[in-house]
């Protein structure tokens, strides 16, 4: 009788084992190396000239605004021309292109800080950042948002007379 119980338990466990479903969960951790990707994008962008995008970022920011014929075009026209240029950039590098364009324009604004004709430096930087942030959506990038980081430093000069 004990043998029959052992045999029936063994048979029951064998049936249960063969009808059980095996589920294998595989977790793939994609090692994204943003530094490597950024380097690849920088190399790709190095050979490309994005003139329309430069104009898009700098419209209204520079002294030669009144003298530059291409700058007289409406902003939307320049923006769409910039989008066309960015379509020639690899999709994974489009955000990096916007970031580089933003950084280049930011450097120009900082170099012209002594010329307050077209507004304060802070206003210009905000305008540049806004343009950089809306461009991915306007151009229908796969990634509709690019992380644009700015570090704003405020320099206060005070002229103190010595008595």
- On whether the CB atoms of residues 23 and 72 are closer than 8 A, the answer is no
Q: Kindly report, residue by residue over 19-77, the tens digit of the pLDDT.
A: 554 444 433 333 344 667 778 888 888 878 899 999 999 887 765 444 455 557 888 99
Query: What residue ranges define each of the domains in the chain, with the CATH number in brackets?
Result: 35-138 (1.10.110)
Q: How many CA atoms lie within 13 A of 162 on its CB side?
A: 0
- The residue among 126 and 10 whose pLDDT is bigger is 126
């Amino acid at each position: 009788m004990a043998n029959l119980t052992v045999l029936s338990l063994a048979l029951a466990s064998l049936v249960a084992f063969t009808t059980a479903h095996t589920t294998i969960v595989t977790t793939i951790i994609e090692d994204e190396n943003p530094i490597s990707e950024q380097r690849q994008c920088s190399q790709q962008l190095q050979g490309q000239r994005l003139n329309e995008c430069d104009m898009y970022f700098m419209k209204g920011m520079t002294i030669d605004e009144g003298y530059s014929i291409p700058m007289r075009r409406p902003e939307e026209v320049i923006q769409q021309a910039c989008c066309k240029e960015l379509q020639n950039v690899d999709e994974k590098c489009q955000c990096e292109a916007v970031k580089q364009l933003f950084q280049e324009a930011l450097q120009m604004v900082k170099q012209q800080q002594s010329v307050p004709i077209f507004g304060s430096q802070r206003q210009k930087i905000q305008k540049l950042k806004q343009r950089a942030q809306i461009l991915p959506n306007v151009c229908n990038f796969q990634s509709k948002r690019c992380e644009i980081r700015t570090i704003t430093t405020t320099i206060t000069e005070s002229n103190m007379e010595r008595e």
